[in-house]
Amino acid sequence: MLNTIHLQTFLAVVETGSYSAAAERLHLSQPAVSNHIRALEAQLDQVRLFRRVGQQMLPTQAGEELIALAREMLELATRAEERIRSLRGQVSGRVALGCTPAGSETLLVRMLRAFRDRYPAVHLSVSIALPEILLEQLARQHIHIALVEEKQSPRNWVVQLLGSDPLALIAPRDHELTRSGLITLSNLKHVPMIMPRNGSPTRRMIDESLRIGGLTPADTYVALETDSATVAIEAVRSGVGLAFVPQSCVMGHADVGIVPVEMNVHQEWFALRSREHAMSRAVQEAFAFLTSEDARAILHAAGVRSPLESKASGKTPKMERRRS
């Protein structure tokens, strides 16, 4: 009978493309991963499951045939474990969560402890990637839930708005712009800026708001691009430039100040899961928790505005322009 640990290792190699990356994901040594694959191949009459192409390990034809079956077998094993544990009222199993770099710093760090306190028997794994990669992983069932900054089509996904976070323009605390009162966008002409990655949802919103304010791309000096609020804040501290970051991430950083600017951009956050694929009890509970009032209260305490607050204000949180 095939060993579920060997199958899990096999899928990790398929998804990461190498033994070393699979070992890192599974918290194993590379020799242990190699041993698992050899043992699995031995159980299958010494059939080769992988072939090396350059630096990547790609599945052979036999390996391709095994992928879907391995996922089904692991899903059945997980469901069996969950069913037995549920007899004692305990939710268990594995939940693979994907999140964007900005979302990991704005959302996850605030909710993971509360989730673990509520579901200690659930094994949670977190992947940090760009939105387009997360959507592909969600479609391929490599992850169960994705947290992204842009609403997706409800035809393919179950989509829940978690909240919205105002973006703040920050500078070193002693920067002259932090003491000059409300400034117009013209004051940012040729000022070194730290921006989200070009083409990202947040960058598109910022660029559009700058355009409405009369700043052309030629007027904007982008000194650094990063999707990480932590990196952006550190770059501001180092004097690289000014940065737009979620306001909730600024709390606790006494050496940076908020520049009052005549622009108001809010970043929305969404939780997605597949509409087509069946969910385990653990995934159901994880999605329910992420979209619950308890989770929203945690985010609200950190400065993330809830969907109900957005509706009550009568405004769309994506992008607004202040009028003086």
CATH of the domain at 274: 3.40.190.10
Q: Residue for token digits 């052309």? A: 216
> Are 147 and 275 part of one and the same domain?
yes
> Are 66 and 82 part of one and the same domain?
yes
Q: Is residue 296 part of a domain?
A: yes
Rounded to whole angstroms, the Cα distance separating 106 from 268 reads 11
Rounded to whole angstroms, the Cα distance separating 245 from 194 reads 9
Q: Is residue 322 part of a domain?
A: no
pLDDT score for 322: 38
Rounded to whole angstroms, the Cα distance separating 257 from 242 reads 10
Are the CB atoms for 165 and 120 separated by under 8 Å?
no
> Are 259 and 287 part of one and the same domain?
no
> Are 25 and 172 part of one and the same domain?
no
Task: List, in sequence order, every residue forming a beta bridge with 224; answer none if it has no partner.
Answer: 194
Q: Is residue 67 part of a domain?
A: yes
Q: Is residue 324 part of a domain?
A: no
Q: Is residue 323 part of a domain?
A: no
Are the CB atoms for 12 and 71 separated by under 8 Å?
no
* Six-digit token string for 168: 């703040």
> Are 50 and 111 part of one and the same domain?
no
pLDDT score for 319: 39
Rounded to whole angstroms, the Cα distance separating 324 from 322 reads 6
> Are 50 and 110 part of one and the same domain?
no
**pTM of structure:** 0.68
Instruction: Tell me which residue range forms the domain holding 122.
Output: 93-163+268-317
CA 244 to chain centre: 18
> Are 183 and 53 part of one and the same domain?
no
> Are 185 and 222 part of one and the same domain?
yes
Query: Which strand (E) or helix (H) includes residue 228?
Result: none
Task: List, in sequence order, every residue forming a beta bridge with 194; answer none if it has no partner.
Answer: 224, 243
Q: What is the CA radius of gyration of the chain?
A: 23
Rounded to whole angstroms, the Cα distance separating 112 from 320 reads 31
> Are 13 and 62 part of one and the same domain?
yes
> Are 99 and 232 part of one and the same domain?
no
Task: List, in sequence order, every residue forming a beta bridge with 246; answer none if it has no partner.
Answer: 167
> Are 156 and 295 part of one and the same domain?
yes
Q: Is residue 119 part of a domain?
A: yes
pLDDT score for 323: 37
Rounded to whole angstroms, the Cα distance separating 113 from 286 reads 13
Are the CB atoms for 321 and 188 separated by under 8 Å?
no
- Distance linking the first and last C-alpha atoms of the chain: 72
- Tens-binned pLDDT, residue by residue, of the chain (324 aa): 788 999 999 999 999 999 999 999 888 999 999 999 999 999 999 999 999 998 899 999 999 999 989 988 888 887 777 677 665 667 878 899 999 887 887 778 778 888 888 888 888 888 888 888 999 989 888 899 999 988 888 888 999 998 888 899 999 988 888 887 888 888 888 899 999 998 888 899 899 989 888 888 888 899 999 988 889 999 999 999 999 998 888 877 888 999 998 888 888 889 999 887 778 888 999 999 999 988 888 888 877 877 755 554 444 434 343 333
Number of separate domains in the chain? 3
pLDDT score for 67: 93
**What is the DSSP-derived secondary structure letter of residue 179?**
G
Q: Is residue 141 part of a domain?
A: yes
State the CATH number of the domain containing residue 10: 1.10.10.10
Rounded to whole angstroms, the Cα distance separating 112 from 117 reads 9
91 phi and psi, to 5 degrees?
-90, 125
